[in-house]
Structure 1
């Protein structure tokens, strides 16, 4: 593993160092497991005791924290979690096999591979597919006919990218991702369900990351689109003709039904759902397990099912919890009324 001097790390993360700039850090660790030359992070005041009692000599913390850590070398930053991400990137990097085509891979003669591409064993790259420079195709990946994949991508084992789909630059597709499967479209004829062909595509823009076993269906006509910088967790379903904007976050086990639109900066909590043909405005937040069935205005925070403004949902939930006592009170009042009527 690499090592860095604290002065170097302070420059990398844009922080102010209180301590020895030549102190050497050899790793990043949790406070309770750290050794003297590990770097630790203080994200929350509740963890202050753990940080103080840690063997680690160097800490990254928010502005104004040095006074609480008098015995430590401290780098103060505006955003400790952003600093954490940047430091981890310096101490580690994803495994990348050497460039070249494994002898057990199949690459169609009419496929085009850029400079420094790696293709793992038992992967298949079909006719007219194009793979950009330095992209890594791990073992057991299927790349369909006419697929376009940009530069510096990581396509992990058992990913499927179906015919004529497009993947941008610096995209990460984790194991089990399926891009371009048919959408779920059928019409009842009176006797049976007739399949609606899906002849559209999928477009995944630059700097998108998609988690394991997530599916992105192709459009019926046109395309299903995922905007640049969007991050999608594991086990997410994106249906046909969905349009997802830039820098959207979608957490695990969420689902977005056909032809819905999520504008830039939307955040979906875990197990949330959006029904078909819905529109979610820029910067909206959808709480975990919420079910969106109607338009969500830009910047709105919604929760519950059907999803509504979050504070309204909280008030209603509070009233629901009072129902048993309210019901008991009603029964007592009814009994008193019956006694009064008898008198």
Structure 2
């Protein structure tokens, strides 16, 4: 049976050139002419493929490795078999990421559905919209009145770009996504089914029931932001909802109105951020975390997955748990709970004797 490869191998790059491109050091230049075509996990890597090793605990995977090259840091070099050429890097994961982008550029953006570029005859583009050269619009996409889209950008099938939306250059808006009341920077990726710029969740309770509060703000996504599939980012009520430059947001994340997220943050799947919370630069938030509204998360904070954040967190903190607290305190609480449980088991065992 033929194997369908959605991301075919690269035509080939020499190991010497690859090392230069990814900022790694080729240990033996005699191997520099080896040709690399694709990436692979260590355990099943073969000829023409490159892999990477993060730690000694994966040493067993090397038993069946026949890669043409392996990336690692100096501390684990000794476990790599002599027959595998080695590229030394201070950050193997970063070097491997750059190698993957070079060898499989097609996989770095949402996949184009049709084979042709340009504006599909099955798409609707309002006559007042302005599209620069080299924009691709797939079938059934809708571009609203007054919208502007920069060169090199891609609009997937069934995507909706609302009236007066601005999208920068080299962006990808995948199939089924909707972008309304938003200003999008350059090199932004929005994956399938994401919802950008819809109403924030605002109501005023009263005797007559829940009165809807008007939401007249915008969403601003700065350059190099990536938004995962089925993530929602509500527009601001009277101010803007902002995601800072270089931040990466996973699938199925909810970002409420007026939230401000700093630069180069990473937010994993299932996170919910309530309205008007401010998140600093370089913050990392683990999956399924809930964050209260109207609080401040300082620069460089790390929040463990499945945490409940109810109050502001100082810069540089590492927290977790429900409610979220400093990790040392959380670990002490866990240790105390385990000790008490063990004590109860012992007492129960003594009573049965």
TM-score range, shorter chain: over 0.9
- Native 8 Å contact 2:55 2:76 kept in 1: no
Paired residue for 2:233? Answer: 216
- Native 8 Å contact 1:42 1:51 kept in 2: no
- Native 8 Å contact 1:141 1:155 kept in 2: yes
Gaps of 5+ in 2: 1-8
Paired residue for 1:179? Answer: 196
Q: Does 1:78 align with 2:74?
A: no
Q: 1:108 Cα deviation (Å)?
A: 0.5
Paired residue for 2:3? Answer: none
Partners of 2:24 and 2:154 in 1: CA distance: 34
Q: Does 1:93 align with 2:105?
A: yes
- Native 8 Å contact 2:34 2:68 kept in 1: no
Paired residue for 1:158? Answer: 176
Instruction: Output the aligned Cα RMSD.
Output: 1.8
1:124/1:74 CA distance change after superposition, 3 Å: same
How many residue pairs are counted as aligned between the two chains? 331
1:145/1:87 CA distance change after superposition, 3 Å: same
Deviations 1:138-160 (A, max 9, x none): 11000111100000001000000
Paired residue for 1:61? Answer: 72
Q: 1:305 Cα deviation (Å)?
A: 1.0
Partners of 1:21 and 1:307 in 2: CA distance: 50
Partners of 1:67 and 1:218 in 2: CA distance: 53
Partners of 1:199 and 1:289 in 2: CA distance: 32
Q: TM-score, normalised by structure 1?
A: 0.92
- Native 8 Å contact 1:18 1:66 kept in 2: no
Gaps of 5+ in 1: 333-343
Partners of 1:231 and 1:79 in 2: CA distance: 20
- Native 8 Å contact 2:43 2:63 kept in 1: no
Q: 1:325 Cα deviation (Å)?
A: 5.0
Q: 1:255 Cα deviation (Å)?
A: 0.5
**Structure with max Cα Rg:** 1
Where 2:139 maps in the other structure, the secondary structure is: coil
- Native 8 Å contact 1:15 1:75 kept in 2: yes
Q: 1:40 Cα deviation (Å)?
A: 2.0
Partners of 2:142 and 2:124 in 1: CA distance: 5
1:67/1:287 CA distance change after superposition, 3 Å: closer
Partners of 2:77 and 2:340 in 1: CA distance: 50
Q: Which moved more, 1:131-140 or 1:185-194?
A: 185-194
1:327/1:72 CA distance change after superposition, 3 Å: closer
Partners of 2:45 and 2:221 in 1: CA distance: 40
Q: 1:71 Cα deviation (Å)?
A: 2.3
Partners of 2:222 and 2:76 in 1: CA distance: 40
Partners of 2:348 and 2:88 in 1: CA distance: 61
Q: 1:52 Cα deviation (Å)?
A: 4.5
